[in-house]
Amino acid sequence: MPIYEYEAASTGRRCKKCALTFEVIQRLSDPPLNSCPECSQGIRRKISRPRVILPGSARGTDEIEQKVAEYERQGMYSHAAELADKESEKPEKTHLKERAMEDYKKAGYDF
């Protein structure tokens, strides 16, 4: 579900919530809020693109792939290979197996 950022529409009275930009999780189909849920003062949605919350696992594995890419950039192919190899044991990450093999080769391992 997307997260939207809201801020007070005016600089008048503000409560603790709307004194700063705050985030609201809403369905795409939900109408935008126009008043603060705490103090009912007018608020407006910031134009920033909504962020979508990724499930914890997907987020975690993305981080692993980023780490693999970082090792590759630094020429640390054995590190990249080991990480990709370990990660590729997960059923949704089997595509990393090939990458691990390539990195192993680049690292000088012979298969």
Query: Which residues sit opposite 22 in a β-bridge?
Result: 6
For the chain, what's the residue count? 111
Q: Which is nearer to Zn ion, 38 or 92 (CB)?
A: 38
Which residue's CB comes closest to Zn ion? Answer: 36
Query: Which residues sit opposite 3 in a β-bridge?
Result: 25, 51
Tell me phi and psi for residue 6, to 5 degrees.
-120, 155
Residues in 29-88 that interact with Zn ion by CB under 5 A: 36, 38-39
Task: Specify burial of residue 106 (Cβ count, 10 A radius: 0-12, 13-18, 19+).
Answer: middle
Among residues 17, 45, 93, 106, which is the contact residue for Zn ion, using CB under 5 A?
Answer: 17
User: Rule CB under 5 A: is residue 6 a binding residue for Zn ion?
Assistant: no
**Minimum distance from residue 64 beta carbon to Zn ion (Å):** 40
Contacts with Zn ion by CB under 5 A lie at 15, 17-18, 36, 38-39
